[in-house]
Amino acid sequence: MHLSVENLGRLTNLGFQFPKASARALNKTMLHVRTQAVKAVTEKYRIKGADVKAKMGPTRKATSQSLKAVFRSVGRRISLVYFGATQKRTWPGARVSMYRKEKRTTIAHAFIATMPSGHKGVFLRKAGTSLPILERTGPAVPQMLKGIWDKLQALAGPKLKANLVHEIEWERSRKL
C-alpha cells in the first residue's frame, strides 16, 4: 500500500512547514493502517499481534523530502508453533488450530522440537525414518491479509485526510 501527498505540493508555499506536517500525517496513517491490519489478522487467526507485526516486513516512512510512506507485507510461511501448537507425551501428535473459531485438531505423528539454531517448530518424520524431518507451516502474513487489503485502503484515505488537517492545524498554532 502506497500513500503519498505529492499532488498537494502546491501548498508548500504557505507560511508553515507543509512537508514536515504531511510527512507526520503519512507516518501516523501508516501506523494506523498497520495496527488495523494486525487486528484483522489476530481476529481471524490464532496468532499473537507481536508475531504478526514481526513477520510483516519493513515499512518505509515518509520524510519532508520524500512524501511517500509504504506499508507492505512480505514474508515466508509461519511455523505452526506461532498458532499455539501444543504437545503432550500422551498425545499421538501435536495439536493446533490456525483459526480462532476452530477446535484444535491433532496432526498425527507430529512433534514440537527446538532446532540447534533456536528455531522452534512442528515437525514430521519423512517415511518412518529418523531423518529427514519436515516442518509443518501455516500461511504467510501476506496470505492472511489477502481479503482485507481493500478494507485497509478504504480506511487509509479518510484517516490520511484527518491526520493531515490535524498536523496542518498544529503547525499553524505552533507558528503563532
Instruction: Looking at the structure, tell me whether residues 63 and 96 fall in a common domain.
Output: no
Range of the domain at 60: 2-73+145-175
Instruction: Looking at the structure, tell me whether residues 6 and 59 fall in a common domain.
Output: yes
Instruction: Looking at the structure, tell me whether residues 67 and 13 fall in a common domain.
Output: yes
Instruction: Looking at the structure, tell me whether residues 20 and 68 fall in a common domain.
Output: yes
Instruction: Looking at the structure, tell me whether residues 150 and 66 fall in a common domain.
Output: yes
173: closest CA among 12, 17, 54?
Answer: 17
Instruction: Looking at the structure, tell me whether residues 84 and 127 fall in a common domain.
Output: yes
CA atoms within 13 A on the CB side of 101: 3
pLDDT in tens, 72-131: 888 899 999 999 999 988 888 999 999 999 999 999 999 999 999 999 999 999 887 888
42: closest CA among 26, 53, 32?
Answer: 53
DSSP 8-state symbol, 134: E
Specify the amino acid at residue 30.
M
What pLDDT score was predicted for residue 175?
Answer: 63
Instruction: Looking at the structure, tell me whether residues 88 and 34 fall in a common domain.
Output: no
Distance between first and last Cα of the chain: 36
pLDDT in tens, 26-66: 999 999 999 999 999 999 999 999 999 988 877 889 998 88
Sign of CA dihedral 90, 92, 97, 103: negative
Domain count, the chain: 2
- CA atoms of 168 and 108, how far apart (whole Å): 59
Q: Which three cell numbers stand for residue 110?
A: 507430529
- CA atoms of 124 and 104, how far apart (whole Å): 18
* Residue 10 pLDDT exceeds 80: no
Instruction: Looking at the structure, tell me whether residues 122 and 94 fall in a common domain.
Output: yes
Across the chain, the runs of DSSP E, i.e. the strands, are 2-4, 59-60, 68-71, 77-79, 93-96, 105-108, 111-114, 120-125, 133-140
Q: What is the pTM of this model?
A: 0.83
Give ∠ CA 18-155-66 in degrees, rounded to 5. 30
- CA atoms of 93 and 110, how far apart (whole Å): 5
